[in-house]
Amino acid sequence: MIDTHCHIDFEEFDHDREDVINRAREVLEAVVDSGTSYESNQSVLDISKKNPDFIYPSFGFHPVASHTKTSEEIKQAQNFLINKLDEFVAIGEVGMDYYYITDKSLRDKQQEIFTSFVEIANEYKKTLLIHGRDCEKKVLNIIKEYDNIPYVIFHCYSGSLKTARKIMEYDNYYMSFSTMVCYSKQHQELVKNIPLEHILTETDSPYLALSREERNEPAFVMRGARKIAELKEINLKEIDEITSNNGKKVFNI
Ligand SMILES: [Zn+2]
């Protein structure tokens, strides 16, 4: 099993990061740790270097904060990414969030920044990991214009089934489902209708735990996988095999 999206560099794990990683090693084959900012991308690289062949770094520029960055900061992040491209397994999470960002001009700026990263993924043929919230169709319409992106992942996809079906028309587009699938009726409906060949597992930890008090962690990806097995009426071993192979393929690990 693979946790294809989490944030073990976050301060929520500062006091017991080693224990969290050890628990993940007991049940998982690999973990993809996604950066969110300039500093976070550095930490993600450091953590992955300490845990070779287990924790893989993804370069992120989180959409919820992207519009607050100056053009120098954006340029700095882009240069950092291009210089260290070989060290990262994907570009993301990058994207657009219409849930938190409601102002039209800020949304335009967010889209412009997102597009700049999509162009890098296209130019350098790098897997793109997308955070798209309440604007899934718009995100799809942007990325489908780019033919050289090897794989696209809609992380924690929460859009409609109709848009999901459009996304599934592309063989190289995937959706990752988090532990939210354990309690969200919408996610359960999506999982039932999306072929396993397009599904990845993730936690988005420390977020999206089963209760507000709890901190999520990579090992808990098993909870979501068990629910996917139940919803699809397929045994857990097969879910594990197929989603792990999907993960290895999209991140080239
Ligand atoms: Zn995330």
**Residue 32's domain is classified under what CATH number?**
3.20.20.140
Cα–Cα dist 118/197, whole Å: 24
- C-beta of residue 208 within 8 angstroms of C-beta of residue 12: no
Distance in Å, CA 157 to ligand 1 centroid: 11
Distance in Å, CA 181 to ligand 1 centroid: 16
Distance in Å, CA 231 to ligand 1 centroid: 24
195-230: b (≥16 Cβ within 10 Å) or e: eeebbbbbbbbbbbbeeeeeebbbbbbbbbbebbbe
The predicted model scores a pTM of 0.95
Distance in Å, CA 241 to ligand 1 centroid: 24
Distance in Å, CA 203 to ligand 1 centroid: 9
What is the reported pLDDT for 181? 95
Secondary structure, 3-state, 33-92: EECCCHHHHHHHHHHHHHCCCCEEEEECCCHHHHCCCCHHHHHHHHHHHHHCHHHCCEEE
Cα–Cα dist 225/218, whole Å: 12
pLDDT in tens, the chain (253 residues): 999 999 999 999 999 999 999 999 999 999 999 999 989 999 999 999 999 999 999 999 998 888 888 999 999 999 999 999 999 999 999 999 999 999 999 999 999 999 999 999 999 999 999 999 999 999 999 999 999 999 999 998 999 999 999 999 999 999 999 989 999 999 999 999 999 999 999 999 999 887 777 899 999 999 999 999 999 999 999 999 999 999 999 999 9
Amino acid at 220: F
- Ligand 1 is an ion; residues with CB less than 5 A from it: 204
Distance in Å, CA 211 to ligand 1 centroid: 17
- Return the SS3 of 2: strand
Which domain covers residue 76, as residue numbers? 2-251
Distance in Å, CA 81 to ligand 1 centroid: 18
Q: How many domains does the chain have?
A: 1
Distance in Å, CA 198 to ligand 1 centroid: 19
Distance in Å, CA 94 to ligand 1 centroid: 9
At CB < 8 A and 24+ separation, what contacts does 22-28 make?
A: 23/217, 23/218, 23/219, 24/54, 24/217, 24/218, 24/219, 25/54, 26/219, 27/1, 27/219, 27/221, 27/222, 28/1, 28/2, 28/3, 28/218, 28/219, 28/221
Distance in Å, CA 178 to ligand 1 centroid: 10
Distance in Å, CA 179 to ligand 1 centroid: 13
Q: How many CB atoms lie within 10 A of CB 114?
A: 25
